[in-house]
Amino acid sequence: MRFNELNLSQEILNAVDELGFSEMTEIQEKSIPLLLQGHDVVGRSNTGTGKTAAFGIPAVESINDSNKNAVTVLILCPTRELALQAHGEIKKFAHFKRIVRPCAVYGGASMEKQIFELKRGANIVIGTPGRVMDHIRRRTLKLENLRCVILDEADEMLNMGFREDIESILSGVPEDRQTVLFSATMPKEIMAITEKFQRDPVHVKIKSAQKTVDLIEQYYFEVAMGRKTDALRLLLKAYSPSSCMVFCNTRAMVDQLTEELQKHGFRAAGLHGDMKQAQRTQVMNSFKNKACEILVATDVAARGIDVSGIDTVFNYDLPQDNEYYIHRIGRTGRAGKTGTAYTLISGRKQFHELRDISKYINAEITELPLPDKEGILAMRQEAMIRDITSIEAHHSAYSAIDRLASMGIDAREAAARLIDRIIQEDIDSIPEFERAHPLKNRRGSSAKTVKIDINIGRNRRIAPNFILGALVDATGMSGKDFGKIDIFDDHTTVEVPASDTDYIIESTNPMKINGQQVTVKLCTGTSSRGHYSRPRPKDKPVFDRRKAAYGSRNKSEVYKDYIPNRKKRTKKRH
Ligand code: ADP
Ligand code: MG
């Protein structure tokens, strides 16, 4: 359905036209008519589906000569960036409707300036809950004439601890107002707000919630522990994205990674909640105008950010929540464009987490090997060819070519040398990766190990292969991942990779060995320095798998029955 099929004013239709919108997105088609009629609405749809216009257009439309002198619409957003973004978008919808005065209020910026703007007669206020509360307390924001409250990204606002502020704002505004709530997810807390503050809300849900995700190609790379930064550098060189986002889970990681990338000559900038507002705005602007190509960000700082032309998203850390994965990769492939998302994983635990994500979003995330230097060379050449076809040379360059020709170097030779040199410089700075499968290679001499303790032992006639079989079964790990097994009278210890401890403990409780329920714990007081750091107990027999009496010293041979083919497992879900 097109915008001009709706009963919208000419001013708005002109503005929409100017923005280049013609067809409505699904959420717009479903919610704009309801909002224009004054219904309370609960809208559920993913990022990138056009929610801002879905509520922004009716908001602008609702301003008229009789209500223009008071704050009529209040829009709450989780972050300053989102408030600014919605503010910018609403200004565009109001371009031809001069009586609309939108005003953004958010923390970390001058109170005076906002007060000035509010006093000048704002009628649509877009703000973060904390700052909105501030203005209400100071009586610089008066909501007696409010007709409509909109909660954008409501789930995220709750995640960020704005629940009290939101409840207090909603309790203090006129009762006969319209209440609109948009959220990607519908946890219980949101339902509670809906019940308490909305009147007969109409639920609007996008059928194809994964629509945006479908347009995004998704891949993952397995990277050895501690080598994610190197792998990212390699991938950035290989794919040379023109505009990409890299997601980390913590502010500290954002800072560290940004610094590391900058050190290696990448135009990268970090974005997170600890930064001053001016700094954040500056970062966003340089990313938008492509002065910086790589934006490293936390989930919250990046939530809902709408920058067009992001072609690639990297998940440096796996997201802590499946929904976040959708939000992250939704930064690319906006409004019908395609994009690519790459996820870096290290260790078995992350492999399993990623498998869960893949199931959750019901989409394939395909494993790719890290490209090698030859592969990167080929990709760089491709990129260079694309570049060369799209640029023009300055005049003086031709005279250089002429001079070279007079020296016996023709244009073909000159261009080849130039391409080689530019690409080679890049290639030389790329970190080395061995081709071997990193996860399978992990138990080298430097791999840290710890011991786990299982409360079953010799008095239950337990043999090492029972233990190993059960562990492999419960964890899906390879038999090679487990080290020495010591069986005592009433318990057993097993060496495991330190990095997988949490995952192993989690997936082995409960677990049965030889039909008996056992408990698996981390051994206390175990040194994590490696295989031989702890003296063997002299009075107890020791079963060392490498010396176990199975006629072979090759553990993988002895236990191969227990080693599941991980590749096969991966394939299953495809
Ligand atoms: P959301 O809030 O759901 O994440 P946005 O409102 O930020 O999504 O919109 C995502 C992008 O899609 C924006 O760049 C916006 O300008 C664009 N967009 C929204 N509606 C339309 C439309 N009807 N036609 C074309 N582009 C649209
Ligand atoms: Mg939005």
**pLDDT tens digits, 217-273:** 899 999 988 889 999 999 998 888 889 999 999 999 999 999 999 999 999 999 987
The ligand 1 atom at the shortest distance from the C-alpha of residue 85 is 7
What's the DSSP call for residue 540? Answer: S
User: What is the chain's alpha carbon radius of gyration, rounded to the nearest angstrom?
Assistant: 29
Binding-site residues, ligand 1, Cβ < 6 A:
21, 23-25, 28, 47-53, 304, 306, 308, 334-335
Residue 337 confidence (pLDDT): 62
Which candidate, 344, 345, 317, 349, places its Cα nearest to that of 496? 349
pLDDT category of residue 545 using cuts at 50, 70 and 90: very low
Q: Please compute the mean of the pLDDT values over residues 527-548 and round it to a whole number.
A: 36
Q: Give distance in angstroms: CA of 335 to centre of ligand 1.
A: 6
Q: Give distance in angstroms: CA of 85 to centre of ligand 2.
A: 8
Neighbours of 160 (CB within 10 A): 18
> Looking at ligand 1, which residue's alpha carbon is closest to its atom 5?
50
Per-residue CA distances from 4 to 12, 173, 370 (Å): 10, 33, 49
Select from 150, 306, 323, 332 the residue to mutate for testing ligand 1; criterion: most ligand atoms less than 8 Å from CB: 306
Distance CA 8, CA 61 (A): 8
Which candidate, 122, 105, 121, places its Cα nearest to that of 113? 105
Q: Give distance in angstroms: CA of 52 to centre of ligand 1.
A: 7
Collapsed DSSP state (helix, strand, coil) of residue 460 = helix
Burial (0-12, 13-18, 19+ Cβ within 10 Å), 103: buried
What order do you get walking across the sheet with 73-76 strand by strand? 102-105, 124-127, 73-76, 148-151, 178-183, 41-44, 202-205
Return the top range by mean pLDDT from 86-100, 308-322, 360-374, 406-420: 86-100
Q: Tokens 């080689």 label which residue?
A: 420
Q: Which ligand is nearest to the CA of 48?
A: 1
Residue 562 confidence (pLDDT): 36
pLDDT category of residue 286 using cuts at 50, 70 and 90: very high
In this structure, the strands spanning 73-76 and 148-151 are parallel
Distance of CA 68 to the CA centre of its chain: 40
Its sign, for the CA torsion 347, 349, 350, 354, is positive
Torsion of CA 493, 496, 499, 503, to 10 degrees: -70
> Looking at ligand 1, which residue's alpha carbon is closest to its atom 24?
21
pLDDT category of residue 554 using cuts at 50, 70 and 90: very low
Burial (0-12, 13-18, 19+ Cβ within 10 Å), 310: buried
The residue count for the chain: 574
Residue 558 confidence (pLDDT): 33
Residue type, 560: K
Angle at 235 between CA 229 and CA 238, to 5 degrees: 145
Distance of CA 441 to the CA centre of its chain: 28
216: which strand partners?
339
Q: Give distance in angstroms: CA of 89 to centre of ligand 1.
A: 10
Higher pLDDT, 178 or 544: 178
Distance CA 179, CA 124 (A): 14
Residue type, 166: I
Per-residue pLDDT tens digits for 41-95: 999 987 778 899 999 999 999 999 999 999 999 999 998 888 999 999 999 999 9
Distance of CA 134 to the CA centre of its chain: 31
Distance CA 263, CA 126 (A): 38
Q: Please compute the mean of the pLDDT values over residues 170-177 and round it to a whole number.
A: 95
Collapsed DSSP state (helix, strand, coil) of residue 41 = strand
Q: Give distance in angstroms: CA of 303 to centre of ligand 2.
A: 8
Neighbours of 17 (CB within 10 A): 13
The ligand 1 atom at the shortest distance from the C-alpha of residue 153 is 2
Which candidate, 81, 94, 165, places its Cα nearest to that of 130? 165
Q: Are 8 and 61 in contact (CB under 8 A)?
A: yes
Per-residue pLDDT tens digits for 347-369: 888 998 998 888 888 888 999 88
Select from 25, 30, 288 the residue to mutate for testing ligand 1; criterion: most ligand atoms less than 8 Å from CB: 25
Q: Which ligand is nearest to the CA of 23?
A: 1
Distance CA 285, CA 283 (A): 5
Q: Dig out the tokens for 215 from the structure.
A: 């347009």
Residue type, 315: N
Residue 572 confidence (pLDDT): 36
Return the top range by mean pLDDT from 44-48, 159-163, 343-347, 457-461: 343-347
Which candidate, 417, 338, 382, 385, places its Cα nearest to that of 237? 382
Distance of CA 367 to the CA centre of its chain: 18
Per-residue CA distances from 87 to 127, 128, 526 (Å): 9, 12, 57
Q: Give distance in angstroms: CA of 124 to centre of ligand 1.
A: 20
Distance CA 157, CA 183 (A): 10
Residues with CB under 5 A from ligand 2 (ion): 51, 304
